[in-house]
Amino acid sequence: MSSPPSADDALSAAELAAKYGLAVSGARPGLREYVSQLKGRRHFILAFSRAKLTAQYSQAKLGQLWQVATPLLNAAVYFVIFGLILGTKKGIPQEVFIPFLVTGVFVFTFTQSSVMAGVRAISGNLGLVRALHFPRASLPISFSLQQLQQLLYSMIVLVAVTVGWGSYPRLSWLLVIPALALQFLFNTGLALAMARMGAKTPDLAQLMPFVMRTWMYASGVMFSIPVMLEDKPAWITDVLQYNPAAIYMDLVRFALIDGYGSENLPAHVWLVALAWAVVVGLVGFVYFWKAEERYGRG
């Protein structure tokens, strides 16, 4: 004879969970708690980024030299095509064009690599995501940190190039630090947003190289936007100059290159750089966090 139903049998699953203090496995924590969890994983984030950086060229004979050789070779190709053949150095003094170009390539590559790594941050690490419980934002943040470390290696070459073309260390070089810090915050927010989109649509990784190439050509990596567009409507120049990639490139160029003065910068450039970093950083983080419980679920 069956026993009469207990009081617990009459409770719903949600009521039982609340009664015994149970929580849904993998449920999204509150935003403040999520930030706290990330802070607790800071050692993992740093170690993971270093491991990825070390492993990136582990199979190549030149090893970590490719960290600086790759963007330097890109700069050489752009110099031949755009500087010598197409003449995009118009309006830029000969002694300034090489450091102008190399700076643009290195700084844009920082954003480009962060975005491309962010797209694959979840979809390319599903084994890790499904096997371990940790705040998923750790992955795109660590990839952005990896690209920052790679840029810092590249800065050695960039300093050598600027000095070689007559721009010697001065107090303004310190402005590189806040400029790259703001760019890192911007890149991280963008990588987080792309990580969520890439987790849902893996094919996005195939599309992004074309998007990034278009963005590069529109950002003045190898030419001066005001000079090349002097016969175009002013609003086109403003749109291109105020896009974040151009903003961060111009700030680093202004800091490092003698002869690249404030007249080459758009108005309120530091405020714009700060706004891009804060808005994209916060929006990207919240956008990623809202889908926390869905990553790795298929």
Helix (H) or strand (E) holding 1: none
Q: Is residue 70 exposed (0-12), middle (13-18) or buried (19+ Cβ within 10 Å)?
A: middle
Q: Is the model more confident about 262 or about 193?
A: 193
Can you give the residue ranges of every domain in the chain? Answer: 37-294
Q: Provide the pLDDT for residue 202.
A: 83
The mean pLDDT value for 208-215 works out to 94
Residues 249-278, mean pLDDT to the nearest whole number: 92
Whether residue 54 has pLDDT greater than 90: no
pLDDT computed for residue 115 by the predictor: 95
pTM of the model: 0.86
Higher pLDDT, 80 or 233: 233
Give the integer Cα–Cα distance in Å for 55 and 70: 16
Residue 56 has pLDDT above 60, yes or no: yes
Average pLDDT value for the chain? 85
CA dihedral 177, 178, 183, 184 (to 10 degrees): 70
Looking at the predicted structure, is the pLDDT value of residue 237 above 70?
yes
Whether the per-residue pLDDT at 227 is higher than 60: the answer is: yes
pLDDT tens by residue, 144-170:
999 998 888 888 888 888 898 888 889
pLDDT of amino acid 94: 75
**Pair 208, 119: CB distance under 8 Å:** yes
- pLDDT the model gives residue 274: 98
> Which residue type does 69 have?
A
Nearest one of 193, 189, 202, 204 to 296, comparing CA atoms: 202
| Cβ(125)–Cβ(139) below 8 Å | yes
Task: Write down the residue that tokens 């700030």 correspond to.
Answer: 251
pLDDT of residue 155: 86
Which amino acid appears at position 6 of this protein?
Answer: S
